[in-house]
Amino acid sequence: MGSWLFLFIVGLFLAASVSGVGSRNVTYDGRSLIIDGQHKILFSGSIHYPRSTPQIAKAKAGGLDVIETLVFWNLHEPQPEQFDFSGQRDIVRFIKEIQAQGLYACIRIGPFIQGEWSYGGLPFWLHDIPGIVYRSDNEPFKYQMKKFVSKIVNMMKAEKLYASQGGPIILSQIENEYGMVEAAFRDKGPPYIRWAAEMAVGLQTGVPWVMCKQNNAPDPVINACNGRRCGETFPGPNSPNKPAIWTENWTSFYQVYGDEPDIRSAEDIAFHVALFIAKKGSYVNYYMYHGGTNFGRTAAAYVLTSYYDQAPLDEYGLFRQPKWGHLKELHAAIKLCLNPMLSGEYTTMALGKSQEREFSRLCCFSVNNDTRKTVVVTFQDSLYELPPKSISILPDCKTVAFNTAKV
Ligand SMILES: *[C@@H]1O[C@H](CO)[C@@H](O)[C@H](O)[C@H]1NC(C)=O
Ligand SMILES: *[C@@H]1O[C@H](CO)[C@@H](O)[C@H](O)[C@H]1NC(C)=O
Ligand SMILES: CC(=O)N[C@H]1CO[C@H](CO)[C@@H](O)[C@@H]1O
């Protein structure tokens, strides 16, 4: 079997730079999110406010642009109508800290979040409401869900935290991985998803919404990918006008009692992020970038108190090397390609036998998908050596700035 090599090369285009003052205009097209008229490739990392002290400066130093958090309903409304946003529950303070560091934010409201959190984030009292069926086309559930989602959105608006108001929030999520369970709800599933999308959009946040693992996300909600290998597994946006967004890139795996820790190498994460970007992905979120601790009784059944200790920042917020540093270098190398990547054309060309390349002009990603063999390729009169299972990034198509397998 020959080695597989793909070269992704994109043309050069200099986008006019627009600097936003006050409110920002966040939209999207088939290429990426667009902030104040500029296309963006964004690296994002999950940090959950109840699980940690915010490690935002370290995330920023690691080359992240966005911090993403879930919103934990049962933490905020432990009893009906009794809200708590104090201390570790202070989501507003968390978002303001992100803003103070000059980063963007994404809030995934759910309000079913899974997240290895007790009861998936749903308050236990919901279960006493007569006739309620969770996450379904069911009036009692929809009433409670809308009430909570509106409460969070209105809080964010009151603090002017949406980008449309000059704040850091550029994206929000409604529901979570519903596509995986939708069939179980039979004819109550599809109308629920349509309702959820319409309800969310109707709240007029001024920024786009996503649904993850929901390939039929109703317009204008963007369908996003979760997983370890979205460059290979994502069927793509469900409309040519939507960008490819990866909401959960599992940097490891949460751990349950009795299991060995899941070690996902820095090289493997870097390979799949580079592949997703080379295939026109424009937004990658690391789940988790920093996991922290499940305090008290907040963890879901069997889940350890330590949450994603193998993430780029470990349970205590310390650098997990070489992961943190390798991904930082990856982000920097990809950012050297920004202008060509955001406006050029992508094509694929074969480079010799059983080799292919994607080609247009000024930035190259070359991929060796063979797990055992190093391949040597000639491209424009130069020789390049690609280690097994690796991607080289050549921001000028001549010089290798980064190889995912070289730590
Ligand atoms: C926001 O940006 C979009 C696309 O870049 C543009 O079509 C629209 O006119 C802008 N809206 C405002 C209010 O500036
Ligand atoms: C790499 O090889 C694996 C295993 O054959 C395959 O599943 C995957 O889609 C390939 N990836 C690329 C980018 O060609
Ligand atoms: C494998 C893994 O970590 N999956 C998690 C992805 O993130 C959601 C939270 O939105 C978790 O619930 C999944 O378990």
Mean pLDDT over 253-266 rounds to: 90
The alpha helices in 41-160, defined as continuous H runs, are 56-61, 73-76, 91-100, 139-158
Mean pLDDT over 354-371 rounds to: 68
Is 143 exposed, middle or buried, given 0-12, 13-18 or 19+ CB atoms closer than 10 A? exposed
Residue 367: nearest ligand to its CA?
A: 2
User: What span, in angstroms and rounded, lies between the C-alpha atoms of 148 and 56?
Assistant: 27
The CA–CA distances, whole Å, from 247 to 15, 42, 79, 158, 202 equal 26, 11, 30, 26, 22
pLDDT given at position 307: 96
pLDDT given at position 250: 85
User: What span, in angstroms and rounded, lies between the C-alpha atoms of 374 and 290?
Assistant: 33
Pick from 24, 26, 27, 36 the residue to mutate for probing ligand 1's pocket: most ligand atoms within 8 Å of its CB. 27
Mean pLDDT over 298-303 rounds to: 94
| Per-residue pLDDT at 16 exceeds 50 | no
pLDDT given at position 348: 57
User: Which residue type, as a one-letter code, is found at position 207?
Assistant: V
| Per-residue pLDDT at 401 exceeds 90 | yes
> CA-based Rg of the chain, rounded to a whole angstrom?
21
Ligand 2 centroid to 231 CA: how many Å?
10
Is 23 close to ligand 1, i.e. is its CB under 6 Å away? no
Cα torsion angle, 68, 41, 393, 389, sign: positive
Domains within the chain, CATH numbers bracketed: 21-343 (3.20.20.80)
Is 4 close to ligand 2, i.e. is its CB under 6 Å away? yes
Query: pLDDT of 283-297, one tens digit each?
Result: 999 999 999 999 999
Residue with tokens 């104090």: 86
Q: Is 128 helix (H, G, I), strand (E, B) or coil?
A: helix
Query: pLDDT of 130-173, one tens digit each?
Result: 999 999 999 999 999 999 999 999 999 999 999 999 999 999 99
Helix 266-278 / helix 323-335 crossing angle, nearest 10 deg = 20
| 275: DSSP letter | H
Query: pLDDT of 74-124, one tens digit each?
Result: 999 999 999 999 999 999 999 999 999 999 999 999 999 999 999 999 999
Residue 23: nearest ligand to its CA?
A: 1
Which is the catalytic residue, given 175, 182, 248, 329? 248
| Per-residue pLDDT at 178 exceeds 80 | yes
Helix 139-158 / helix 91-100 crossing angle, nearest 10 deg = 40
Residue with tokens 């943190």: 324
Ligand 1 centroid to 27 CA: how many Å?
7
pLDDT given at position 403: 98
Residue 106: nearest ligand to its CA?
A: 3
User: What span, in angstroms and rounded, lies between the C-alpha atoms of 211 and 230?
Assistant: 15
Question: Largest Cα–Cα distance in the chain?
Answer: 73
The CA–CA distances, whole Å, from 194 to 121, 142, 188, 200, 218 equal 22, 12, 10, 10, 6
pLDDT given at position 98: 98
* Average pLDDT value over all residues in the chain: 90
Helix 189-202 / helix 139-158 crossing angle, nearest 10 deg = 20
Q: Give this prediction's pTM.
A: 0.91
Structure tokens at 204: 């007029």
| 293: DSSP letter | B
Q: Is 139 a catalytic residue?
A: no
Q: Which of 298, 320, 391 is nearest to 5 (CA)?
A: 391
pLDDT given at position 253: 85
DSSP result, 19-72: ---SS--EEE-SS-EEETTEEE-EEEEEE-GGGS---HHHHHHTT--EEEEE--
pLDDT given at position 261: 86
Percentage of residues in the chain with pLDDT exceeding 90?
78
Ligand 3 centroid to 22 CA: how many Å?
34
Is 176 close to ligand 3, i.e. is its CB under 6 Å away? yes
Is 343 exposed, middle or buried, given 0-12, 13-18 or 19+ CB atoms closer than 10 A? middle
| Per-residue pLDDT at 3 exceeds 80 | no
Pick from 180, 250, 259 the residue to mutate for probing ligand 3's pocket: most ligand atoms within 8 Å of its CB. 250
| Per-residue pLDDT at 232 exceeds 60 | yes
User: What span, in angstroms and rounded, lies between the C-alpha atoms of 230 and 243?
Assistant: 13
Q: Is 315 a catalytic residue?
A: no
Which of 134-138, 189-193, 198-202, 244-248 has the lowest average pLDDT?
244-248
Which of 17-31, 224-238, 242-256 has the lowest average pLDDT?
17-31
Is 348 close to ligand 2, i.e. is its CB under 6 Å away? no
pLDDT given at position 116: 96
Residue with tokens 């600097």: 19
